[in-house]
Amino acid sequence: MTFQATFLALGVIIIWGSNFVAIKIGVGEIPPLMLLTLRFLAAGLIFLPFSQWPGLRKAMMIASIGLLMGLLHQGFLYVGLITMPAGLMSVLLQSQIIIVTLIGWLFLKEDIGWRTWTGIAIGISGIIVLVGGPNLSGPIEGYIYGFLSALFIALTYIVMKKIDVVHPSTYIAYLHLPITPFIFLSSLLIDGTGWMTTYDILNWPVISAVVLYQAVILSGSHIVWQKLMVRYPVNQIVPWTLLIPVFGIAAGVLFLDEALTLSLFLGGALTILGIAIITFRKIQKNQKPIESEALD
């Protein structure tokens, strides 16, 4: 990788890690699903003028991905961050790698070797340390929402494999805009309309900053990442994602004064180690010839 590509990859990971802090700040100002509605509406409208009609079938496939990623994955993430620290959530969400691997083994008949099983065991042990073992630390709802968010992003990645390459702005526009009404209706049903009575005293500068950060900077970072994935080998790009919880924890400590506890440090380290083993074994598998694809 060139210095420029390394700089871009690191920048993307910092943006993704810091996004947990941005959401945490946003849900402190306005109900989570309404914040998510504003984010999806803004992203859809901003990228729509640069999009191309992909055809009805592909548009519906993109929208179905948006339903999983937006209403379910992002919905549970936003709600969970009301009570969960941003740094802790950034680590818990990495359990998606374990979930994807187990789904592939259970339902897609993918082989898992002993090294990958070791990674899964280490990752799960790290999550147990994070959660607090038998003595649960923090509101149980936050952990449930976090794991549900990880489950639905894992399912999203599986569905995404079925869709061909799409023009980046088109993908973002049709991923966000068609799902916005569903998120808005969910907000009315779950969040209610009580916040509307204080509409004029809400901290709109902060809310707007969070929405624009996600709609423009976060969406733009996905476009950059897609281009890096096309230009460079997977083994040079994917490992960068292991740093997302590192920057998530660091951003939580720096901007939200979140505590760097022993359980967060040890649990996070074990979780990242386990996920690293799984990730590198998947990369090695995909680089092997077809006749020796099984993980050993």
What is the pLDDT of the chain when averaged over all its residues?
A: 87
Q: Is the pLDDT of residue 115 over 70?
A: yes
The string of pLDDT tens digits covering residues 83-102 is: 899 999 999 999 899 998 99
289 pLDDT band (50/70/90 cuts)?
Answer: very low
pLDDT of the residue at 165: 76
Prediction pTM value: 0.89
> Beta-carbon neighbour count of residue 235 at 10 Å?
13
d(CA 203, CA 240): 35
User: What tens digit of pLDDT does each residue of 3-29 get?
Assistant: 888 999 999 999 999 999 999 999 999
Parse the chain into domains and list their residue ranges. Answer: 3-110+134-258
Q: CB burial class (10 A; 0-12, 13-18, 19+) of residue 162? A: exposed
Q: Are 86 and 251 in contact (CB under 8 A)?
A: yes
Mean pLDDT along residues 221-225: 92
Q: Please check whether residue 69 is in contact with residue 175, taking contact to mean a CB–CB distance below 8 angstroms.
A: yes
> What pLDDT score does 136 carry?
55
In single-letter form, the type of residue at position 34 comes to M
Which single residue is written with the structure tokens 């919880």? Answer: 245
